[in-house]
Amino acid sequence: MALGCALPSSARCSGGPQLGGGWPGRSLGIFAVWIADCLYSFLVVPGELFNDTTLQVILKSALAPFGLGASIPALFCAIFYGLGLWPAIYCSTLLPGAPGQALTAGPFVWSSFLFGAYGLSPYLALRELRGAGRAEPLSSLDFVTRELLESKVTGVFLFASGVFLAFFSAANGVLGSFAPEEAFAALPPLIGASKFARLSVLDFFVLWALFPPVLLEDGQRRGRFVRWTPGE
């Protein structure tokens, strides 16, 4: 992630890039999640997405940070903003290891800001795993990745933003308080009434569930977690 630095080019392994390099079950599992996610979202969940009252309220409130809390549960408000945070985290952990991949990372990773896991999952399934000894030299990274995503300032900002959203959720929108029961109790009615809310919550948790292996790989590429061996 952005809190580390790339390893020297001499640490890189030889061999050309390959689609889905690593444990085949990884690719199949991610594809299964992606297909199930798409089928559930577009064929099972009732309601009309673009006529959703919750979506309209969010769009009207987009320029008023956390002003959503007045009419929308604080926990969903945090989840909604978290859907903007997750893609930034994935950018910081995937793009530094993307040069030379058989599948171009940019279109998938950047599309996750708009489509979330729906746009990102195919890349997670097909990309080549690059753990210990597979770091790219900083000189091979593009300007945005090298100067922004690899910056420690970016890493601190993303971490602080995640912590803030967690506290905001636990406080049920009233910073300084602690009311997780009320925060969780307010979410199910919204999910039941709004297709947009249900899909947003689903997307958030899919992004969360797919992240640990990405974090482990990124850490190993930077010389961390080297004693941990994922199923590759």
Tens digit of each residue's pLDDT (9 = 90 or more) over 188-215: 999 998 899 999 999 999 999 999 989 9
Distance, C-alpha 117 to centroid of its chain: 7
Tell me, what's the pLDDT at 67? 54
Tell me, what's the pLDDT at 11? 36
- What ranges in the chain are assigned the alpha helix state H? 24-39, 53-60, 74-94, 106-115, 117-126, 143, 152-170, 180-185, 187-193, 195-221
Q: Which among 83, 86, 89, 84 has a CA at the least distance from the CA of 1?
A: 89
* pTM confidence score: 0.80
Tell me, what DSSP letter sits at residue 42? I
Average pLDDT, the chain: 81
Going from the C-alpha of 138 to that of each of 119, 121, 148, 150, the distances in angstroms are: 27, 26, 12, 9
Tens digit of each residue's pLDDT (9 = 90 or more) over 126-139: 988 876 666 666 66
So where are the chain's domains? 20-221
Q: 5 pLDDT exceeds 70?
A: no
Amino acid identity for residue 134 in this structure: R
CA pair distance 199, 96, nearest whole angstrom: 29
